[in-house]
Structure 1
Amino acid sequence: MNDIWLTTGETATLLGVSRQHVVDLCDRGELVCTKAGTHRRIRRSEVQRLFNPQLTREQEKSLWLHRALMGHLMLDPQKVLQMATENITRWKPKHRADGIAMRSLEQWEQVLSGGVDVVVDVLTGLDEVSSDLRQNSPFAGVLSDVERRQALRSFREHWDHEHTAA
């Protein structure tokens, strides 16, 4: 087999998941594949996309800010999780029960109930769900205004250095 196309088994090995999970990813459209008869073939570049997803500037800025609050979470997890829970409790009555914001707040409640490790996974995750959740983050107020401005300034410098055309 040439080096560009992978079988579901080879893809599963690279991703560290089961072959059936790869098939499910293909069937849901989360992993683009081509069928050769009854067999799925996945481009190696498609597998690499899962390892290195492209974030928009806003998504990367949100990730940067959430990474900045990780220090607070690690030093005083109970306080930070309590702040997030209180924010959710305060914000829920202000949103439509069937709206996107409410759905995000409910998802955050589930994440918070999973404990610090689950929260860390979402705060730093590069997957679409984590990225979407960070756009409606309940962690407002964890960073001081000074810390937030410093993080945003640092992000702008990073973005300008890493994302400008050479």
Structure 2
Amino acid sequence: MIVTNESQVGAAIRHQRLARGLDQRDLAELAGVSTSALRRLEAGQGSTLRTTLAVLRVLDTPVTLPGVESEPPHGRRRVSGKTHVRPTLERREEKVSLEMHRAVARRLRADGPGVRARAKANLETVSRTVHGPQAQEWVREWSDALAGPTGELVDLLVRQDEHGIDMRQVSPFAGVLTEDERAAAIRKARRW
């Protein structure tokens, strides 16, 4: 996204939010900001840099500022002088997994201790069933995230890069969502 003013940022964020089937409350919860702050941001009525960056991180939306040249971060490539995100959520299963983990992130905000307890109990089983040093490292990363701040755990749950996809392959959040929440996540993923 190339921006020249605050209203362009807000319009682009609103477009990305709607394209992903999120309402303002969902996006605000995932980003760890208030709904009113997100409303102001989308309307171009003033926002803090923290709010803007938190929302852009959840949406995995890069920002290009005119006149500012930078090296593309991991997972991005340069095309015709602009930085583009390489699409990583290509398979239906990856999209469904992301939507389910977004729902887990919402549950985490509503019932943090319960979700964390369930995930910690599941992590023991996951640890025994995965093979290879890389998968064991992902299990350790989940364990560290479950012991850390909620914002960092939410970030890990909804990452859209290859690492996020890999982490969701060894997710310890089985049984956290109700059948209705799972069905809603699958419906959202189909709209992508």
The bucket for the TM-score relative to the shorter chain is 0.5 to 0.7
Matched residue, 1:8: none
CA distance in 2, matches of 1:49, 1:30: 6
The answer as to whether partners of 2:89 and 2:95 remain within 8 angstroms in 1 is: yes
Match of 1:103 among 137, 140, 154: 137
DSSP 3-state at the match of 1:69: helix
- The TM-score with structure 1 as length reference comes to 0.62
- The TM-score with structure 2 as length reference comes to 0.55
1:45-76 CA-to-partner distances (Å, cap 9, x unmatched) read 4x1326xx341122221111111222211111
Match of 1:49 among 81, 85, 94: 85
Percent identity over paired residues: 32
Q: Considering only aligned residues, what root-mean-square deviation do their CA atoms show, in Å?
A: 3.0
**Gap runs ≥5 in structure 2:** 1-62
The answer as to whether partners of 2:119 and 2:174 remain within 8 angstroms in 1 is: yes
Q: CA deviation at 1:32?
A: 4.1
Higher relative contact order (Cα pairs below 8 Å, separated by 6+ residues): 2
**Gap runs ≥5 in structure 1:** 1-12, 34-41, 160-166
Aligned residue-pair number = 128
Confirm whether residue 22 of structure 1 aligns to residue 57 of structure 2. no
1:1-46 CA-to-partner distances (Å, cap 9, x unmatched) read xxxxxxxxxxxx838xxx8x838x5xxx74446xxxxxxxx6444x
Match of 1:129 among 160, 163, 183: 163
Structure number, greater radius of gyration: 1
Matched residue, 1:120: 154
The answer as to whether partners of 2:75 and 2:161 remain within 8 angstroms in 1 is: no
DSSP 3-state at the match of 1:22: coil
